Amino acid sequence: MFLNKSFITLSLTAWGVLAGANSTMAQSPAVDRAVTDLTIREALRTTKRDARDQRTVSPATQEEINLLDREFGQQSISGLVRQKPQQFLMALEAGGFFTSNAALAPGPETSDWVGRTGLRGAWFPKLTDHVNLLAMANYSLWRYADQQQLDFDDFGSQIGLQYHQGRGELMGGLSRLNVWAQYRYQRLTSPWNWGNRLYENHFLETGLRKGWLLSPTVSVWLGGNAAVSVGGGPSAFRRHEFSTQAGAAWQITPKLAFTSLYRFAWFDYVQVSRNDLNHLLFLGLGYQVTSNLTAQVYVSGIFNHSDVNAFDYKALNTGMGLVLSHVW
């Protein structure tokens, strides 16, 4: 839910190209790393199952509960108590991964260990039976073991409306249909230095996701989104982001879940002559240690093809992480 190297126009002189490449060393991998991380975390949030929602309720019974909720408030029907809707989330995320290409460069590739720690908060009040507001903000620290010149901080926020049909009916709490429209902001900075901006972008974004239940333990989905840049900088970094994705969630046991995701993205740079085609393949296992703590292990591959050959790259990442969250 998201980008590359030095973002230099083809019309620059040879001297200008070299100077631009040197000045954006820290920016180059940061943008793509942050966008890839956003996509993966969105997929994992989509397929995180809340143990309190494991009970089985028929659609007819659910509609009866909803109707009585609207008329009389919280109800107890056939031994089921309708809980007050949750609308707040706080999460602390910590993890690390090994990457085959730390700088996301065409070559030579240099591997490194990368640590990421983040804090996330969200407010998602239900406005109607099918619509809710979503406001979310997160701040992450990215630190490289050897190539510390690539370290950066990542701040993101978004606010918008989401429309659901069959809310939470599929495995992993996935809705049968989800449509959204939102404003999204992303800002990357030097470590612990908000004023030293590496990159920022303001997006107007819309998207949809359609899910299907293949079996009582397996859900699949297809989705797509379009994020149009309406401002940001440096000017050569601004781009529109369009993507499609396909994913699957398998609840292997009540505590163990498998998630797979493929995302194809087109990055259309606004003020330079450059277009990138970006592929992401992700495979992950999540284990619900407690109701608030999840452990994750994963492998992912990123492949970028640009019409400017200097920005082609590939990277293989393997990692693990912990997410401590509370919803109320």
Q: pLDDT, tens digit, for every residue of 136-183?
A: 999 999 999 999 999 999 999 999 999 999 988 887 678 899 999 999
Q: Are 144 and 102 in contact (CB under 8 A)?
A: yes
Question: Under 8 Å CB-to-CB from 200, ≥6 apart: which residues?
Answer: 185, 186, 187, 188, 232, 233
Write down the pTM of the prediction.
0.81
Q: Which of 36-50, 57-71, 211-225, 281-295 has the lowest mean pLDDT?
A: 57-71
Name the amino acid, one letter, at 200: E
Indicate the pLDDT class of residue 278, thresholds 50, 70 and 90: very high
10 Å CB burial of residue 51 (0-12, 13-18, 19+) is exposed
Residue 41 has a pLDDT of 75
Rounded distance between C-alpha atoms, residue 64 and residue 119, angstroms: 38
Rounded distance between C-alpha atoms, residue 120 and residue 140, angstroms: 9
Q: 140, 180, 187: which is closest to 163 by C-alpha?
A: 180
Indicate the pLDDT class of residue 253, thresholds 50, 70 and 90: very high
**Position with higher pLDDT, 60 vs 21:** 60
The 3-state secondary structure of 136-189, one letter per residue: EEEEEEEEECCCHHHCEEEEEEEEEEEEEECCCCEHHHECCEEEEEEEEEEEEE
Indicate the pLDDT class of residue 121, thresholds 50, 70 and 90: very high
From start to end of the chain, where are the E strands?
76-77, 80-81, 88-99, 112-123, 131-144, 152-165, 177-190, 193-215, 218-233, 239-251, 256-269, 275-288, 293-306, 313-327
Residue 27 has a pLDDT of 58
pLDDT greater than 90 at residue 30: no
Token digits of residue 306: 């640009």
Q: How far apart are the first and last CA of the chain?
A: 24
Which residue's structure tokens are 């956003």?
Answer: 38
Residue 28 has a pLDDT of 54
Q: Strand 177-190 relative to strand 152-165: parallel, antiparallel, unpaired?
A: antiparallel
Mean pLDDT within 238-243 = 96
**Position with higher pLDDT, 310 vs 189:** 189
pLDDT greater than 90 at residue 101: yes
Please report which residue ranges of 24-130 form alpha helices under DSSP H: 27-46, 59-72
Which CATH class for the 14-58+87-327 domain?
Answer: mainly beta
